[in-house]
Structure 1
Amino acid sequence: MFNSPSHQDCAARARSWQSAPRAKPPLAARISASAGFTLIEFMVGLTIGLVVVAGALSWAGQSLAAQVRQRRSWQLHQELRAIASQLQMELRRAGAHGRPSQLVWRADRGASANPFTEISASGGGWSGASSGTSSSAGSSGGNLGSSGTLRLNRALDRDITQPDASTEVTFRWLDGRLDQTIGGRFQPWTDPALMQISGFSASVHRVPHPLGPPCAPAVETRTVQVLLQGQSTQDPKIQQQLGLSVHVRNDPAPIASPDPALAGGCP
């Protein structure tokens, strides 16, 4: 015969079930029940992160490109300054005589004119429009020419009293470079692989200064003005101009003589 459990048995079983440890829920149930990001939130966060990274990379690229342009512009400026320094040195020596004492009048032998005073400039221009620059003698644009020369004479040896191939110095602008005569032959002065000379202009300004009355002889002062334009070979957009003005020291002067008629003075 089936005996139903007593009230005491049911209470004991209830107490044992409550005190027994409960099994943990499955892993999927625990993950879904815990706090976290949804798929939409994850995609929004990923998009924002990508935008921030793209902006940082773009800024870094622009900063690096600006630094490279600045370095190339500085190199171009230094190259032009080196050329201008050499030109200035040669122009200041223009007209130098090997024996300057022969140019001074003396009663026993007279005097002779300085044969090294000739200086000339021809041609010149710009192979393209100038775009942004550092200039101290003005700027010019347009296709005005593709070649130019600046020619002078000077004697560096005391035994040289007449011009020859060794005393003539010519600077030539041709095919984007500057050449200089060395030993009577043109030698490249600049490297087109590093810098293109896109503009060259030279002019000689002569000013006479009378030594006395209107019919008296005059001393002629000469000023040479040179304007250079360089262009970076690596970045043609980088261009700079540099100008210099040099007063030639050895000015042509009349032969001094105590007789005004011999000296070109008034009769």
Structure 2
Amino acid sequence: MLTTAINRTTMSVRQRGLGLVELMVGITVGLIVAAGASMVAVNQINEHRRLMLETQIQQDLRTTADILQQDLRRAGFRGRAELGVWAPPTDVGTLGETAALTASVNQFTALVKTDNASLRSLTYQYARPSSGSDYSETGVLREVEHFGFKWDKREGVQELYLLVGAVGGENWQPITDRASVKIKGFDIDIDEQSVYVGEFCDKPCNLPPATTGLCPKHVVRKVRFTIVGEAAHDSNVKRTLSGVERLRADEVIGACPA
């Protein structure tokens, strides 16, 4: 009886704990669960990183577009609008008589688009005070009143620049940072709509200026641009932003017949 009880106790003790096979199975299951959790964590980190890059690029492109639009709104501004309006003679019949003033051509309305292998740019002009709050009395375009923006296409650069006056040469300032975003594409389109206004002349004419060389037309212009940005640290993260700006200063081509 005593021997039987001892054998049963020994067998009971031997059945306690995990065997080698059970231990290996447990470790395998644990590794599978840990691997799955690690994959989920890595995916979450990558998605968060991608989202942060996308947000940064979107903010950079929006800021750049705002700068371009704010500067474009000034294009064609001549500073002294009275120079573009006819004025009658004054003090007629006296020694102080002054002749009538004819309307002068706005020299600030030109838009020049350049597109070659290394850059794509748009340049324009607008008046700004030369001393204090004074604009040029003659309305003549000066060197410091040239502005614009450009995209440097060259590999390793791929930035947008703003022209801040041509003082002693071109003064291009970067408005994007290639350390965070590369500008992979930049398109510029100029939309023009012409309205012939010859019927408002003293001697009406309704034919296009190209036909008569005289009849004036009013040109309404819009500039459309598209910016394509790529994250500097991940070429798979790209964003595209488009903008349009109507130029406040319209262009008048031609003149009324004498």
TM (normalized to structure 1)? Answer: 0.74
Shift of 1:98: 1.6
Q: CA–CA distance in 2 between the matches of 1:54 and 1:33?
A: 32
* Unmatched tracts of structure 1, length 5 or more: 1-17, 125-144, 263-267
Q: Report the structure number with the largest CA radius of gyration.
A: 1
- The residue aligned with 2:230 is 231
**Using the alignment, how far apart are the partners of 2:62 and 2:142 within structure 1?**
30
Matched residue SS, 1:253:
strand
Cα-to-partner distance string for 1:6-61 (whole Å, 9 max, x where unaligned): xxxxxxxxxxxx9xxxx999x97663154x43221221121111101100001110
Separation of aligned partners in 2, 1:217 and 1:192 = 46
RMSD: 2.6
Q: Give me the identity figure in percent.
A: 28
Contact 1:113 1:255 in 2 (8 A): no
Amino acid of the structure 2 residue aligned with 1:242: L
**Gap change, CA 1:33 and 1:222, over 3 Å in 2:** closer
SS of structure 1 residue aligned to 2:251: coil
Mark the runs of 5 or more structure 2 residues left unpaired by the alignment: 89-99, 200-204, 208-214
Which residue does 2:142 correspond to in 1? 164
* 1:51-200 superposed matches below 5 A: 51-107=32-88, 108-123=100-115, 145-157=117-129, 158-160=134-136, 161-174=139-152, 175-184=157-166, 185-200=171-186
Paired residues, number: 218
> Over residues 192-250 of structure 1, what are the superposed CA-to-partner deviations in whole Å (9 max), with x where a residue is unaligned?
11111111111222221112353242101111111111111011111111111111110
The CA distance in 1 between the partners of 2:190 and 2:37, in whole Å, is 55
- CA drift of 1:103 comes to 1.1
Q: Is 1:205 matched up with 2:191?
A: yes
Would the alpha carbon gap of residues 254 and 24 (structure 1) be closer, same or farther in structure 2, given more than 3 Å must change? same
Q: C-alpha separation between the residues in 1 aligned to 2:15 and 2:226?
A: 80
In structure 1, give the amino acid aligned to 2:128.
Answer: L
Partner of 1:261: 257
Q: Which residue of 2 aligns with 1:135?
A: none
1:165 to partner: Cα distance: 2.4
